[in-house]
């Protein structure tokens, strides 16, 4: 890079156009000037592909020895033939600028075909690779094929889930060694997380599989310290939750439950029975506890023993079913009282079937159940 005065801080820039090329010059507080080291490349990226000047400068600096644009133009033409917009090419190059200089027939085309054979449809290719362009920098035979085979073994050869994993975790496989991925899978399996549980964890939290082995062991150890065991089917859910939350946030949720009257033992019980409870927002937790304790008159012990209650949607499930049960009780339509816990546990189909038994009152019950879906009088007035 040609530098007139050395400086590490760029505060402003301007564009000059000598010899029909755009040349970028940065001016710092110390009046230093840095000229784009590869003006033809910089010019092509900015003028032909609409790259922003900062990104174009960075690429021209990294590939300053590139003399011919032939390979770059060939790569760009290939990407455009697949439907890539200039913005998507720029996004791809931001993660992996080397793809702009890759051989189309020997590098780019075989790798994209590999993912097409896995089920990646042509309309989705630009979006997928603009977010996962680092995959195009990996060796097909040494990295992509064996890594994908390993992941598919966990997912049960479900290619749709494979692409979900990539969409959840940019850089998955591309930035990870096969050995690390394999060891983490083996370690989780040794903890009793196998089959559908292992595939569920991979789909939802692929970053766990990218951890250093020591970090993963520490995560599992924290879950075991909370009272889970390697033969518990809830261990995977505890690992999922504890990986989602910082220790500070986890502790904050714990203290929130205690502030609502639950003991240390209650909090531990609730986490062991429903680890996902700690992923619920503080506001939802507060509203749920207030409803079940104050409105539904549940004892705290009942809530502590059934923490999944606080994970249900108040608006869509709990309150509508509560309204229905209040009507049923007021009209004494049941010969034998039904526990509200039992009612909440029913699926939508089961609950609607339960309502349909009361033929003379079914319309009133359905209106009460779906009332939250109807516009209120105030919203109707606003609409008019």
Residue 167 and residue 211 in one domain: yes
Is 353 within the bounds of a domain? yes
Task: Count Cα atoms within 13 angstroms, Cβ side, for 10.
Answer: 13
Residue 50 and residue 75 in one domain: yes
Separation of first and last alpha carbons in the chain: 65
Rounded Cα distance between 376 and 384, Å, is: 13
Rounded Cα distance between 266 and 324, Å, is: 30
Residues in contact with 76: Cβ distance below 8 Å, sequence separation at least 6, in sequence order: 49, 89, 100
72 pLDDT more than 80: yes
**What is the arithmetic mean of pLDDT over 194-211?**
95
Output the pLDDT for position 374.
60
Is 13 within the bounds of a domain? no
> Tens digit of pLDDT for each residue in 163-202?
999 989 988 999 888 999 999 999 999 999 999 999 999 9
Residue 151 and residue 239 in one domain: yes
- Write out the two tokens for 34: 């840095």
Buried/exposed 18-53: b ≥16 CB within 10 Å, e otherwise: eeebbebebbbeeebebbbbbbbbbbbbbeebebeb
Residue 172 and residue 209 in one domain: yes
How many domains does the chain contain in total? 3
Angle at 248 (CA atoms; ends 227, 306), nearest 5 degrees? 45
Helix (H) / strand (E) containing 155: helix 145-155
> Tens digit of pLDDT for each residue in 143-157?
999 999 999 999 987
Output the pLDDT for position 212.
94
Q: Which domain does 346 fall in, by range?
A: 317-370
> Tens digit of pLDDT for each residue in 303-339?
999 999 999 999 999 999 999 999 999 999 988 888 9
Angle at 50 (CA atoms; ends 47, 55), nearest 5 degrees? 105
44 pLDDT more than 90: yes
Output the pLDDT for position 10.
40
The radius of gyration of the chain's CA atoms, rounded to the nearest angstrom, is 29
Residue 238 and residue 147 in one domain: yes
- Write out the two tokens for 371: 């009332």
**What is the arithmetic mean of pLDDT over 101-118?**
97
């Amino acid at each position: 890079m040609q530098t007139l005065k050395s400086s590490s801080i760029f505060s402003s820039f301007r564009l000059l156009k000598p010899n029909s090329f755009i040349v970028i010059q940065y001016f710092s507080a110390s009046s230093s000037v840095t000229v784009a080291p590869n003006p033809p490349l910089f010019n092509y990226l900015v003028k032909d592909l609409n790259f922003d000047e900062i990104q174009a400068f960075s690429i021209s600096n990294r590939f300053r020895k590139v003399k011919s644009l032939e390979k770059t133009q060939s790569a760009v033409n290939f990407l455009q033939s697949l439907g890539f917009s200039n913005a998507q090419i720029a996004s791809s190059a931001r993660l992996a600028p080397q793809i702009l200089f890759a051989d189309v027939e020997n590098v780019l085309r075989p790798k994209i075909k590999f993912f097409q054979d896995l089920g990646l449809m042509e309309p989705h290719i630009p979006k997928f690779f603009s977010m996962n362009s680092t995959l195009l920098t990996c060796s097909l035979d040494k990295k992509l094929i064996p890594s994908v085979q390993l992941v598919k073994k966990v997912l049960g050869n479900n290619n749709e889930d494979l692409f979900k994993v990539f969409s959840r975790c940019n850089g998955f496989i591309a930035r990870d060694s096969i050995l690390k991925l394999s060891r983490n899978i083996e370690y989780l399996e040794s903890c009793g997380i196998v089959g559908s549980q292992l595939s569920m964890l991979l789909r939802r939290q692929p970053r766990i599989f990218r951890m250093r082995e020591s970090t993963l062991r520490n995560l599992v150890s924290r879950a075991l310290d909370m009272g889970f065991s390697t033969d518990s089917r809830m261990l995977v859910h505890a690992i999922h939750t504890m990986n989602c939350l910082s220790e500070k946030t986890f502790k904050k949720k714990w203290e929130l439950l205690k502030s609502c009257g639950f003991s240390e033992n209650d909090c531990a019980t609730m986490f062991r029975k429903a680890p996902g409870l700690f992923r619920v927002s503080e506001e939802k937790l507060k509203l749920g506890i207030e409803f079940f304790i104050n409105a539904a008159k549940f004892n705290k012990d009942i809530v502590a023993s059934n923490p999944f209650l606080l994970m249900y949607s108040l608006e869509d499930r709990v309150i509508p079913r509560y309204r229905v049960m209040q009507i049923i009780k007021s009209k004494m339509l049941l010969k034998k009282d039904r526990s509200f816990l039992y009612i909440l546990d029913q699926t939508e189909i089961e609950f609607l079937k339960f309502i349909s038994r009361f033929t003379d009152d079914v319309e009133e019950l359905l209106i009460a159940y779906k009332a939250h879906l109807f516009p209120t009088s105030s919203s109707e007035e606003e609409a008019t």
